[in-house]
């Protein structure tokens, strides 16, 4: 781990709310307290439900959880020290060690605190503390306070979900007759649909509706110029060479998708995964989700299963047919869902090999890993103040278990791998290009010879 405010061995400082006026500062000052207030309101609104389910005990749990969350909001707003976790969950020790490490870097003079420490760390910590507040209060320990928003996001995107399912069904019904070029075109479109699906997260909008309302396929052409880095050819070549290799070695091609948000984005990821399998580009898809509710809209195991159930149960022929297909992919082991505590820890991914060697070794078994979304991008590049022209490979700081690609719409002020002058041009037209969610990247890296930097 590097000190938060200086460049060490060419690695720039972590983004932090200590830079007054920065996006990190505004997030910690405004957006995080708004999210916490919504969490508190949601718990309060569900008071009767807790009473019906658990009687007086439910009411007590509601009160105490709200008490803990209000205390945390106050700690945040007054820049109090980050305190150790007190629950006995599996990862609590790891979080507390991480705090100690950061405290050592700060020295004796200054505490690790909400506005002074790395933004990535404190933002992750907030979601872990929300989980702690609930966990310490059975019988509502397992309550997912973000569930309502995620469910709503899915239902509000129904029209777009039906369109994309109908599109997929059209491809699947004729898939054996498609030429390689036609497959490539479909692949490109579905990769971009999955990319733009990432616009629909609920963290950037502090929980406000952010669902997909327009046709995802029709929008692609007009969105094309907003893709600042587009390495989709390299992603395609990786899949094709994995396929060739698998044929000669009689093995299988495995693609991993490190998921981000539930709702429309998850559907776009499942559609892409379905296409990969039905086209024979991949034989297995491993999905990686979160083991606790995270960054408002991120996918948990429950969201994953629920989405497939809802797709099956839809009153729309193509959608329902595709839902059943997804269920059988899971049943047959062609698809599998995995979670690991590392995904809900605050570490940069370059720490994975040392801090979660089992997960790193697991990812090494993939032919391609797709990382969805903004938070995964921040963790890939360490959430640091990189120069925009630094290569993606450099910013990964040694992380590279397999060829990987980030599919991300930009919602935080970090971006690497741009052409000289590209960032300056964007800034002159649109100063908030990195945070407005309008731009995107399909950014690839492989440590093999074909790598870009």
260 binds ligand F6P, rule: CB under 6 A: yes
The structure tokens 């990769």 sit at 191
DSSP label at residue 30: I
Nearer to Mg ion, 201 or 385 (CB): 201
Residue 66, binding choice from ligand F6P, Mg ion, none, Cβ under 5 to 8 Å by partner class: none
344 binds ligand F6P, rule: CB under 6 A: no
| Sites for Mg ion among residues 255-294 (CB under 5 A) | 260-261
Nearest approach in angstroms of CB 295 to ligand F6P is: 5
Nearest approach in angstroms of CB 371 to ligand F6P is: 10
CB-based contacts of 161, cutoff 8 Å, min separation 6? 154, 264, 267, 311, 314, 319
Stretch that binds ligand F6P, among 84-92, 151-159, 200-208, 247-255 (CB under 6 A): 200-208
The torsion angles phi and psi of 320, rounded to 5 degrees, stand at -65, -40
378 binds ligand F6P, rule: CB under 6 A: yes
210 binds ligand F6P, rule: CB under 6 A: no
Residue 288, binding choice from ligand F6P, Mg ion, none, Cβ under 5 to 8 Å by partner class: none
Stretch that binds ligand F6P, among 106-114, 201-209, 280-288, 441-449 (CB under 6 A): 201-209
d(CA 95, CA 346) in angstroms, rounded, equals: 8
String of DSSP letters for 156-190: HTHHHHHHHHHHHHHHHTTGGG--HHHHHHHHHHH
3-state helix, strand, coil in the chain (%, to 5): 55, 10, 35
Taking each helix axis as running N to C, give the angle between helix 180-197 and helix 232-249, from 0 to 180 degrees, rounded to the nearest 10: 120
231 binds ligand F6P, rule: CB under 6 A: no
373 binds ligand F6P, rule: CB under 6 A: yes
Among 303, 339, 374, 385, binds ligand F6P (CB under 6 A): 374
- In Å, how far from its chain's centre is CA 376? 5
201 binds ligand F6P, rule: CB under 6 A: yes
State whether the Cα torsion 209-214-220-223 is positive or negative: negative
Contact assessment for residue 352 and residue 359, using Cβ atoms and an 8 Å cutoff: yes
Among 211, 212, 261, 446, binds ligand F6P (CB under 6 A): 261
What x-and-dash track marks residues 208-247 binding Mg ion by CB under 5 A? ----------------------------------------
Tokens (6 digits) for 229: 């880095």
Number of residues that bind ligand F6P (CB under 6 A): 15
Nearer to ligand F6P, 123 or 284 (CB): 123
d(CA 351, CA 343) in angstroms, rounded, equals: 12
DSSP alpha helices (H): ranges in 22-138?
23-26, 32-45, 47-54, 56-77, 92-106, 119-135
204 binds ligand F6P, rule: CB under 6 A: yes
Binding site for ligand F6P (CB under 6 A): 27, 123, 198, 201, 203-204, 260-261, 295, 373-375, 378, 411-412
Binding site for Mg ion (CB under 5 A): 201, 260-261, 295, 298
């Amino acid at each position: 781990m590097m000190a938060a405010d200086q460049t060490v061995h060419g690695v720039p400082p972590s983004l932090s709310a200590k830079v007054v006026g920065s996006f990190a500062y505004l997030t910690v000052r405004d957006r995080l307290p708004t999210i916490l207030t919504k969490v508190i309101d949601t718990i309060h609104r569900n008071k009767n439900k807790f009473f019906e389910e658990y009687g007086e005990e439910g009411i007590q749990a509601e009160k105490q959880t709200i008490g803990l969350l209000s205390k945390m909001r106050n700690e945040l707003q007054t820049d109090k020290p980050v305190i150790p976790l007190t629950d006995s969950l599996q990862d609590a020790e790891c979080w507390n060690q991480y705090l100690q490490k950061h405290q050592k870097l700060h020295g004796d003079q200054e505490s690790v605190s909400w506005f002074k420490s790395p933004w990535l760390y404190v933002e992750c910590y907030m979601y872990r503390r929300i989980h702690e507040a609930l966990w310490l209060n059975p019988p509502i320990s397992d309550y997912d306070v973000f569930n309502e928003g995620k469910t709503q996001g899915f239902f509000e995107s129904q029209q777009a979900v039906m369109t994309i399912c109908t599109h997929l069904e059209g491809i699947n019904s004729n898939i054996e007759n498609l030429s390689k070029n036609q497959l490539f075109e479909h692949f490109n479109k579905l990769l971009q649909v999955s990319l733009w699906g990432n616009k629909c997260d609920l963290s950037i909008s502090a929980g406000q509706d952010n669902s997909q309302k327009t046709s995802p396929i029709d929008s692609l052409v007009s969105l094309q110029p907003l893709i600042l880095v587009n390495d989709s050819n390299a992603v395609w070549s990786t899949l094709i060479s994995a396929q060739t290799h698998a044929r000669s070695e009689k093995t299988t091609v495995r693609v991993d998708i490190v998921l981000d948000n539930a709702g429309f984005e998850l559907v776009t990821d499942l559609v892409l995964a379905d296409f990969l399998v039905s086209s024979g580009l991949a034989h297995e898809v491993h999905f990686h989700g979160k083991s606790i509710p995270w960054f408002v809209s991120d996918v948990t195991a429950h969201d994953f299963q629920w989405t497939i159930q809802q797709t099956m149960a839809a009153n729309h022929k193509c959608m329902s047919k595709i839902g059943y297909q997804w269920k059988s992919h899971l049943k047959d082991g062609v698809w599998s869902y995995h979670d690991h505590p590392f995904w809900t820890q605050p570490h940069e991914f370059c720490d994975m090999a040392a801090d979660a060697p089992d997960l790193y070794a697991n990812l090494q078994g993939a032919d391609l890993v797709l990382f969805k979304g903004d938070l995964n991008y921040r963790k890939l590049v360490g959430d640091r103040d990189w120069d925009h022209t630094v290569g993606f490979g450099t910013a990964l700081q040694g992380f590279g278990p397999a060829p990987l690609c980030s599919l991300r719409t930009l919602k935080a002020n970090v971006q690497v791998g741009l052409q000289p002058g590209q960032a300056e041009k964007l800034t002159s037209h649109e100063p908030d290009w990195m945070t407005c969610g309008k731009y995107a990247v399909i950014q690839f890296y492989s440590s093999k010879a074909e790598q870009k930097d």
